[in-house]
A and B are shown apart, each in its own frame.
Chain A
Amino acid sequence: GAVVSQHPSWVICKSGTSVKIECRSLDFQATTMFWYRQFPKQSLMLMATSNEGSKATYEQGVEKDKFLINHASLTLSTLTVTSAHPEDSSFYICSARSGRGENEQFFGPGTRLTVL
């Protein structure tokens, strides 16, 4: 199956700093990528849909100015958590489909963010 990578796999930062998470599709082009957040022992909550070359579409309740998404190319989307606070500590997972409407959605390995 297709491979999606994320970098970094984990990050610890101080409150108030910004953190950038990269999501790459390694062997296919992804016109659309999705960003999810997962708190401990909870499900994945969709944060936003990232579209190559256009603005991201955010889910209700997700602050677009806090979670900046840039889908700069067909293989790269970035999520920047700006002015991070302890409540932003979570597991962030990206996923992508190849654009051919395939049934399988490929997930990255996730990034664990801890804000002190």
Chain B
Amino acid sequence: AQKITQTQPGMFVQEKEAVTLDCTYDTSDQSYGLFWYKQPSSGEMIFLIYQGSYDEQNATEGRYSLNFQKARKSANLVISASQLGDSAMYFCAMREGKRSSASKIIFGSGTRLSIRP
């Protein structure tokens, strides 16, 4: 069964606008972590933001914020004031179970974001 679902294969957004990338997840664990990564055309994976399942507040990192709705099992990424350099693939990911060095991270299918000038 799909654990991480990203329903938007591609999105086009005008520069300086905000954009929301959707992510829903499925787990029976009480303790888990949610991540967003950016992958530009160069292929490197760039960590953007993390949300723990017990974190009461939504995570924020600069222009990135994570809209965490635990009951709905959604963890949408919001990028404010989009820039041309934001054009890339974005992956939502989840780590199940308690945080440890060995716990696996699995990825969603990704959303390709394109910013129009």
Chain A residues with a Cβ under 8 A of chain B? 1, 30-32, 34, 42-46, 49, 51, 91, 93, 95, 97-101, 103-107, 109-110, 112
Q: Which of A100, A103, A110 has the most CB of B within 10 A?
A: A103
Return the 8 tightest CB-CB contacts between A and B, nearest first.
Answer: A107-B45, A103-B50, A99-B101, A110-B43, A101-B99, A44-B107, A32-B102, A43-B107
Nearest Cβ distance between residue B93 and chain A, in whole angstroms? 8
Chain B residues with a Cβ under 8 A of chain A? 33, 35, 37, 42-45, 47, 50, 52, 91, 99-102, 104-110
Nearest Cβ distance between residue B96 and chain A, in whole angstroms? 12
CA distance in complex: A86, B91 (Å): 27
Q: Is the CB of A103 within 8 A of B33?
A: yes
- Tally of A-B Cβ pairs under 8 angstroms: 59
Q: Is the CB of B101 within 8 A of A31?
A: yes
Q: Is the CB of B106 within 8 A of A107?
A: no
A46/B99 contact (C-beta < 8 A), A95-B45, A105-B47 known:
no
Q: Is the CB of A46 within 8 A of B102?
A: no
Residues on A with C-beta less than 8 A from B42 are: 109
CA distance in complex: A99, B104 (Å): 13
Given contacts A1-B47, A107-B37, A110-B43, 9 further A-B contacts (CB under 8 A): A31-B102, A32-B102, A45-B107, A100-B101, A101-B99, A103-B33, A103-B52, A109-B43, A110-B44
Q: Is the CB of B110 within 8 A of A98?
A: no
Residue of B nearest to A44 (CB): B107
